[in-house]
Structures are given as structure tokens and as C-alpha cells.
Amino acid sequence: MPKTWTEKFNSPSTHQIKSVPVDIAGMKKGEVMLIPTPKIIDAFIAGIPRGICLDVKTLRARLAKKYKAEVTCPITTGFHLRAVAEVAIEKLKRGAKPCEVTPFWRVLDENAPTTAKLSCGAAFVQKQRKAEGI
């Protein structure tokens, strides 16, 4: 049976700092790369104030700087960003209010490729962004 988003989010993994092995996804071979965990992504997004938005590129750049890396892995970031969003969506479905979950809509807009995969749909993301004046 596949893991739930909450199980994926709560995996006991730790972040890694390593060299990019080959030129890929805008990263150059040899650059120092952060491979984040879902909890690192979650904590970063939780710290974005209401009404403020950042794109994924900015999130990756700020995380790299925080962890003394040059880049943050875009593939891992995308996967974990989805996990963070799906966990928040699961909490909302159980009755949590938007102010009680990680506000993933401050990073994902309705046109982001990751948003198209979310179980809540792009309309929900657009509604939350509008409610915050984003």
C-alpha cells in the first residue's frame, strides 16, 4: 500500500548537502546543493507572513543560502512542496481552518505545475491567494 502524504511528510529523513553530479535543471556540475526535507519546506512556508508570496525559485534560493549551499534541488523541492500542500489539504478536509495549516498558496499560485497535481485544485489556491490579497 502506498504511503499517505502525512507518512511521506513525517519520514525520518535529514537534509543533505552534496555536490551536483551533472549539469541538470539549471544547476551546474560541482555546485553545492541542498537536498531539503519536507519539514524544512514546511517551516520555511509557515514563516511567510500573510499577504506575502514568494515563487519556488526564490524559496529555493533562500533555502540554499540558509543552509550554506549554492542551490537547492528543484526535483526534491517540488516533491516536498506537494507533500506539504497535501498534508495541509488533508488537515483542511478534517476541519482545520486555513489559518491553522501551512499556507502553501503563498508559494504555489494557480498556474504552478505542482498546483495542477494537488487534490484541492487550482481554484482553491486562487481563492486563498485572493483572500490574502496576493
What does the pLDDT look like over 22-48, one tens digit per residue? 998 889 999 999 999 999 999 999 999
- Whole-number average pLDDT of the chain: 94
Quote the CA–CA distance of 54 and 104 in Å, as a whole number. 10
CA distances from 8 to 3, 102, 103, 107 (A): 6, 16, 18, 20
At 13, is the pLDDT very low, low, confident or very high (cuts 50, 70, 90)? Answer: confident
Q: How is domain 5-131 classified at the CATH fold level?
A: Arc Repressor Mutant, subunit A (1.10.10)
User: What 3-state class would DSSP assign to 72?
Assistant: strand
What is the CB neighbour count within 10 angstroms for residue 98? 15
Reported as a single tens digit per residue, the pLDDT across 82-121 is 999 999 999 999 999 999 999 999 999 999 999 999 999 9
Quote the CA–CA distance of 107 and 75 in Å, as a whole number. 16
At 53, is the pLDDT very low, low, confident or very high (cuts 50, 70, 90)? Answer: very high
Q: Would you say 43 and 84 are in contact if contact means Cβ atoms under 8 Å apart?
A: no
Tell me the percentage of the chain whose pLDDT exceeds 70.
100
